[in-house]
Amino acid sequence: MEKIHNTLRDSPVARWTALILLALTMFFAYMFIDVLAPLSTQLETSLKWSPDTFGAVAGSEYFLNVFVAFLIFAGIILDRIGVRRSAILSGILMVIGASIKLYGISDHFNAGGFGYDFFNSFWTGFPASAKVACMGFAIFGCGVEMAGITVSKGIVKWFAGKELALAMGLEMAIARLGVFSVFRLSPYLAEQGGITLSVGVGTLLLLIGLLSFSVYFFFDKKLDSQTDSLRTASDPEEEFKVSDLKAIFTSKTFMVVAGLCVLFYSAIFPFQKFATGMLESRLGMTTVEAGNLFSYFPIGAMILTPFLGWFIDHKGKAATMLFAGSLLVIICHLIFAITPVENFTFAVALGAIILLGISFSLVPAALWPSVPKLVDNKVLGSAYSIIFWIQNIGLMLTPILIGWSLKVSNPGVAERILAGEDIKYNYTVPMLIFAAFGVAALALAFYLKVLDKKKGYGLESPNIRK
Ligand SMILES: C[C@H](N)C(=O)N[C@@H](CCCCN)C(=O)O
């Protein structure tokens, strides 16, 4: 049979290369997100960042996305200017934000460099270094979240009707590898050349990521020109209109998915920022040992997510996976919260971390490829951006809540650590809060299954139809 209507997306080599180019940038982006996560103890001693300061800096990544609603605009921009231009824009934002954060924590700035006096002149309880780091991280956050929705829409563009969930699973697996790498690399680099070296290397890698997006630009351009020339006058591309967004906001099922997303991810990403400190405290480990132990978490997720993606493509069951993943997150956080000291061994911690890794595979593998089943392709960028926006509200507030709860449930500990005493925080209350997010996510996952059965969205059906 003669093959007609072939485009670049019909070539497996081309579409998987496009995926690698997109995923490589996300690999570096995810490294940067957590570059300070394993360094909370050093930050407390060297830059005087107490847990609530550390939590506020972690949460600042989402500040502009949430309060200026940058993510909503990012979705509209994406639907209007397309994947390749949006990718470049997001890559540039990431590099600018990372450079500002690097400057904020640098010895040069903290020894009275440009802007130090100004940033030290107000709200003196919050270090000047943390203020500049927050500013930079907020700009980086705009870039990385814009990149996230752009990559998701890019993957749908190349893989719709093909190996969509597998491709998304692989992209996320590569991102998790970034988290694994940074939990190993960052404490090591900080030991060799201080925190500045860790963040400096992270910033440099983001530049390579921008380069990768630039190469992707040409793949995307070629695909668009092929698709345009195949399009007939009777089948024009549907124009995006802002009024189309109404359909997203008024869809109950979409809102349930968004709610599940914010609750589940609030129990995972903010936990990543506190996990090293929690393991140090509960197991009496060093930062490097705790970072190494926790690095099994993203590795577990990395291995499993693509397999689950493949399973969803061929067999379905996405809604069931969302339910199972939410259940696991509760079990893990409860293990961290309430296992008595004498029973909380290395093996128990490792077991819980691996289970959490499985949960972190089930939910993302099922959630993101399900979105195109709920909305029209012309508003897909906006749909992802709205989910991300709602999710970002949780991701911004949760580290602040957890940092605050850690401080108030451990009265006087921050002061004693600053005075040089070798004591640890008790993480029971923060871990119970994380478990509570899991309980709420489980309830929504159950409701989603009911809605799917009633309305027939096909969340339990395979992506590839034979
Ligand atoms: C934090 C970010 N908004 C997010 O939700 N990341 C997801 C991946 C979503 C895009 C998948 N193509 C994650 O699980 O890392």
Model confidence pLDDT, tens digit, residues 145-170: 999 999 999 999 999 889 999 999 99
Residue 388 CA to ligand 1 center (angstroms) comes to 8
Of the candidates 351, 318, 352, the one whose C-alpha atom is nearest the C-alpha of residue 332 is: 352
8 A C-beta contact, residue 356 and residue 297? yes
Ligand 1 atom closest to 395 (CA): 1
Region 346-357: mean pLDDT is 95
Euclidean distance between the first and the last CA atom of the chain, given in angstroms as a whole number: 19
Please spell the DSSP secondary structure of 283-342, one letter per residue. HT--HHHHHHHHTHHHHHHHHHHHHHHHHHHHT--HHHHHHHHHHHHHHHHHHHHHS-GG
Residue 148 CA to ligand 1 center (angstroms) comes to 6
Window from 15-19, 196-200, 293-297, 409-413 with minimum mean pLDDT: 293-297
pLDDT: is 11 or 40 the higher one? Answer: 11
Q: Whose CA is nearest to atom 14 of ligand 1?
A: 364
Q: Quick check: 258 pLDDT over 50?
A: yes
Window from 105-119, 218-232, 334-348 with minimum mean pLDDT: 218-232
Whole-complex ipTM: 0.97
Q: Whose CA is nearest to atom 11 of ligand 1?
A: 152
Reduced to 3 states (helix: H, G, I; strand: E, B; else coil), residue 232 is coil
| Alpha-carbon dihedral 346, 352, 356, 357, rounded to 10 degrees | 50
CA angle 151, 153, 159 (to 5 degrees): 95
On average, the pLDDT of the chain sits at 92
8 A C-beta contact, residue 283 and residue 346? yes
Q: Quick check: 220 pLDDT over 60?
A: yes
% of residues, the chain, pLDDT over 90: 77
Ligand 1 atom closest to 155 (CA): 12
If you compute the radius of gyration of the chain from its CA atoms, what whole number of angstroms results? Answer: 22
**To test ligand 1's pocket by mutation, which of 266, 308, 368, 370 has the most ligand atoms within 8 angstroms of CB?**
368
The residue with tokens 């399900």 is: 370
Q: For the chain, how many residues are written?
A: 466
Q: Which residues, 6+ apart, have CB-to-CB distance to 272 below 8 Å?
A: 34, 37, 179, 294, 297
Ligand 1 atom closest to 171 (CA): 12
Q: Whose CA is nearest to atom 3 of ligand 1?
A: 388
How far apart are the C-alpha atoms of 114 and 107, rounded to whole Å? 12
Residue 445 CA to ligand 1 center (angstroms) comes to 18
8 A C-beta contact, residue 89 and residue 146? yes
Q: Quick check: 379 pLDDT over 80?
A: yes
* pTM over 0.90, yes/no: no
Q: Residue 55's pLDDT is what?
A: 86
Q: Residue 243's pLDDT is what?
A: 76
How far apart are the C-alpha atoms of 17 and 4, rounded to whole Å? 22
Q: Residue 249's pLDDT is what?
A: 86
Which CATH entry fits the domain spanning 12-231+240-455: 3.40.1080.10, 3.40.30.160, 1.20.1250.20, 3.40.50.150? Answer: 1.20.1250.20
8 A C-beta contact, residue 151 and residue 90? no
What is the three-state SS of 159-195?
HCCCCHHHHHHHHHHHHHHHHHHHHHHHHHHHHHHCH
Region 188-196: mean pLDDT is 93
Say which amino acid occupies 152: S
How far apart are the C-alpha atoms of 158 and 16, rounded to whole Å? 9
Residue 359 CA to ligand 1 center (angstroms) comes to 14
8 A C-beta contact, residue 417 and residue 44? yes
Lining residues, ligand 1, CB within 6 Å: 145, 148, 151-152, 168, 171-172, 175, 265, 364, 368, 388, 391
Both tokens of 432, joined, read 């119970």
How far apart are the C-alpha atoms of 219 and 163, rounded to whole Å? 18
8 A C-beta contact, residue 383 and residue 371? yes
Region 375-396: mean pLDDT is 90
Say which amino acid occupies 439: V
Q: Residue 4's pLDDT is what?
A: 47
Chain mean position to CA 158: 22
| Alpha-carbon dihedral 447, 452, 458, 463, rounded to 10 degrees | -10
Model confidence pLDDT, tens digit, residues 273-320: 899 999 999 999 998 899 889 888 888 889 999 999 999 999 999 999
8 A C-beta contact, residue 44 and residue 111? no
Q: Quick check: 360 pLDDT over 80?
A: yes
How far apart are the C-alpha atoms of 274 and 40, rounded to whole Å? 8
Residue 152 CA to ligand 1 center (angstroms) comes to 9
Q: Residue 232's pLDDT is what?
A: 65
